[in-house]
Amino acid sequence: MRKSKWHICTLIVTGFILFNSACAQNPPLSGLAYVNEEKLAEQSTVLLNNASYFVPLQSLDELKIASVHFSNLYSAGFDSLLNKYAKVSVYSGKDYTGIKSLDNLSADLKWYNTLIVQVNDADLSNPLVINFINTNQKIKNVVVALFGSSNALVKLNNTAVPVIWTERVSSVSAFYSAQAIFGGVPVTQKLKKNISALYKADMGFISNKIRLQYTVPEDAGINAVNLAGIDLIANEAMMNQATPGCVVLVAKDGKVIFNKAYGYHTYSKTLPDKLTDIFDVASMTKISATTMETMQLVDQGKLNLDGIVGDYLPAARKTNKNDLHISEVLEHQAGLIPDIPTLEVIKPSDHTTDSSAAYPTKVNDNYYLRKDYFKDVMWPEMLNSPLKTRGSYVYSDLSMCFMQQIIETITAKPENIYVQQQFYAPLGMQTAGFLPLYRFTPNQIVPTEDDQVYRHALLDGYVHDPTAALMGGVAGHAGLFASANDLAILYQMMLNRGTYGGVQYIKPATVDLFTAKQSAVSRRGLGFDRWDPIADRHYPSQLASPETYGHTGFTGTCVWVDPKYNLVYIFLSNRVHPNVGSKLSSLNIRPRIQDVVYQAIQKGM
């Protein structure tokens, strides 16, 4: 296992990396031992005081959450699991003893509306801790995670907030409780005996699993040993300089069973790839942003797939784009050319090194585009571009550029803002979005090309695709950045046929329609790429089922959803660093890793 220069320990459960923390505890169990302990944790976990059904947490975009721990030995793992679902700030109550009282802790928690408080028997022997809970419950949402004996539960008789209690004190029970708060695992048990006048036998609230669970392969019937080939193929990719690093995630049956980072941001090996790293996902934007919004607008009756482009875009009515059907555009069968010329034809007077009112659009560091360049130059070029044979399959970035203009016209809202508000934030996706440098530092973002020809800079946090770059980083075909975990959430929602976290984002029939084969001349769905029926192509994988849908990205990324196997597979890399290369494809890295996953599933059947 690789150690970073900061001496951070990565705790691994047989291929499933749970969290990063300073090495203060032993690694948790793995394999079937982990599954058995997880079952014991489930059997000992009870949810109390939940008449308002606050747990599992809902409306994640409205919650500002902090987690407070005192002497819980497994707080690092607990907090790490919380942060899989939402941004949760961590506070140690031990830092607020003596002169710095718990009143100071409450003051520091001013800006949070939801507190998750981890306590055990020893913590509740301190009346200041109980007072901290009872005082905050009057003004904030509070959830108590209690680990320890029933004697500790008695001390919470005057506490009205939801309590998730388990007598089992272990790393796995900590993981389980954290996931139960967000609905990653269910709470199935009730009190087996009378504890106090308040907590009596058969009391307790049952909750459902409504979000991803984070566990070991054996929990989904897969032997972790059979996934070892992923390591070999990922290392092969790096040894052959197909990519400096990558992140692989596998979710089976609504459970993330494999999530691992390999290599480094660059070949200088300065920054190791991390599970939380943010990648430019390139053409995965087409389905992860534009098509998502399109599906929702179809559900709302605001967009008709049988309608034509001219119905929505007045500027197209006097062009050859007027009578193109929306469905044709989504299927890449409208006859649109692949793209328009961009950086190679831009005039020196169109850009400068400093921002100003005349040059407001930032393409990357020291590169600013003149005002209205898209409206004056790029949009007319797209509108007046020639059409190839209509009805034939021609993969086109312009298809999603047109869809962006259509959906923005319907919603009167920029695409980046719409998908953030309607999908990413409520789903709990913490990194996904356009223009990542407005929210994250470059060290959190994996760089792409070192462009010394046109932009004269290493592209780190700026979109790699040149058309999207000149559109200000927000485009229908490219521009989205995300981590693997965020994409797992989004595509688990799709695998659930539009529902996640108890919320329906897209109607099941719409998911089925868009992800199904639509054409007699291509394998495509509506927006989505799909399994290729030509067997020799093995696309996207030799063993993928005909139900499989997803997309790849030019930067070296992919996501594939296979409903037959209840599977989500995500691969993120920066194969275009420092320059565009083809080794990732020629070595078949992405499909071969996917094959390992299928083989492991089949061995477990």
Reported as a pLDDT band with limits 50, 70 and 90, residue 28 is low
Of 321, 254, 275, 280, nearest to 495 by C-alpha is 254
Spatial distance between the Cα atoms of 17 and 248, rounded to a whole number of angstroms? 11
Q: pLDDT tens digits for 201-217? A: 999 999 999 999 999 99
Of 205, 184, 227, nearest to 81 by C-alpha is 184
Reported as a pLDDT band with limits 50, 70 and 90, residue 98 is confident
Average pLDDT for 466-481: 98
Beta carbons of 325 and 333 less than 8 angstroms apart: no
Spatial distance between the Cα atoms of 201 and 195, rounded to a whole number of angstroms? 7
Average pLDDT for 278-297: 98
Beta carbons of 487 and 551 less than 8 angstroms apart: no
Q: Does the pLDDT value for residue 573 go beyond 90? A: yes
Spatial distance between the Cα atoms of 62 and 113, rounded to a whole number of angstroms? 9
Name beta bridge partners: 16.
13, 259
Q: Does the pLDDT value for residue 20 go beyond 50? A: no
Q: Does the pLDDT value for residue 3 go beyond 50? A: no
Q: pLDDT tens digits for 362-395? A: 999 999 999 999 999 999 999 999 998 899 999 9
Give me the domain span that covers residue 36. Answer: 9-213
Give a yes or no: residue 198 inside a domain.
yes
* pLDDT score of 495: 98
Q: Does the pLDDT value for residue 14 go beyond 50? A: no
Give a yes or no: residue 390 inside a domain.
no
Query: What percent of the chain is predicted at pLDDT more than 70?
Result: 95
152 token code pair: 């500790």
286 token code pair: 């087409």
Spatial distance between the Cα atoms of 14 and 11, rounded to a whole number of angstroms? 10
Collapsed DSSP state (helix, strand, coil) of residue 515: helix
Q: Which CATH number belongs to the domain containing residue 201 in this structure?
A: 3.40.50.1700
DSSP string, 135-168: HHTTTSEEEEEEES-HHHHHTTTT--S-EEEES-
* Residue 514 CB contacts under 8 Å (≥ 6 apart), including other chains: 291, 294, 295, 330, 525, 526, 527, 528
Strand blocks (E) in 323-416: 351-352, 361-364, 367-369
* pLDDT score of 12: 37
Reported as a pLDDT band with limits 50, 70 and 90, residue 100 is confident
Helix (H) or strand (E) holding 570: strand 567-573
Spatial distance between the Cα atoms of 144 and 181, rounded to a whole number of angstroms? 10
Average pLDDT, the chain: 94
Q: Does the pLDDT value for residue 5 go beyond 90? A: no
Give a yes or no: residue 149 inside a domain.
yes
Q: Does the pLDDT value for residue 27 go beyond 90? A: no
* Residue 415 CB contacts under 8 Å (≥ 6 apart), including other chains: 289, 290, 293, 404, 407, 408, 434, 474, 476
Give a yes or no: residue 87 inside a domain.
yes
Spatial distance between the Cα atoms of 605 and 591, rounded to a whole number of angstroms? 21
**Would you tell me the crossing angle of helices 291-299 and 508-515 to the nearest 10 degrees?**
130
Q: Are strands 65-69 and 88-92 parallel, antiparallel or unpaired?
A: parallel
* Residue 384 CB contacts under 8 Å (≥ 6 apart), including other chains: 319
Q: Side chain identity at 505, as an amino acid letter? A: Y
Query: What percent of the chain is predicted at pLDDT more than 90?
Result: 93
Q: Does the pLDDT value for residue 96 go beyond 70? A: yes
Of 136, 189, 131, nearest to 161 by C-alpha is 136
Q: pLDDT tens digits for 148-183? A: 999 999 999 989 999 999 999 999 999 999 999 999
Reported as a pLDDT band with limits 50, 70 and 90, residue 604 is confident
What Cα–Cα distance (Å) separates residue 239 from each residue in 115, 235, 272, 597? 46, 6, 15, 22
Domain count, the chain: 1
Q: pLDDT tens digits for 62-93? A: 999 999 999 999 999 999 999 999 999 999 99
* pLDDT score of 30: 83
Give a yes or no: residue 281 inside a domain.
no
* pLDDT score of 10: 34
Q: pLDDT tens digits for 402-453? A: 999 999 999 999 999 999 999 999 999 999 999 999 999 999 999 999 999 9
Q: Side chain identity at 38, as an amino acid letter? A: E
Reported as a pLDDT band with limits 50, 70 and 90, residue 25 is very low
| pTM as predicted | 0.95
Spatial distance between the Cα atoms of 152 and 184, rounded to a whole number of angstroms? 26
Give a yes or no: residue 178 inside a domain.
yes
Give a yes or no: residue 105 inside a domain.
yes
Give a yes or no: residue 580 inside a domain.
no
**Would you tell me the crossing angle of helices 75-82 and 171-182 to the nearest 10 degrees?**
30
* pLDDT score of 264: 98
Q: Does the pLDDT value for residue 18 go beyond 90? A: no
Average pLDDT for 522-536: 96
Name beta bridge partners: 451.
457
Spatial distance between the Cα atoms of 177 and 153, rounded to a whole number of angstroms? 15
Neighbours of 579 (CB within 10 A): 10
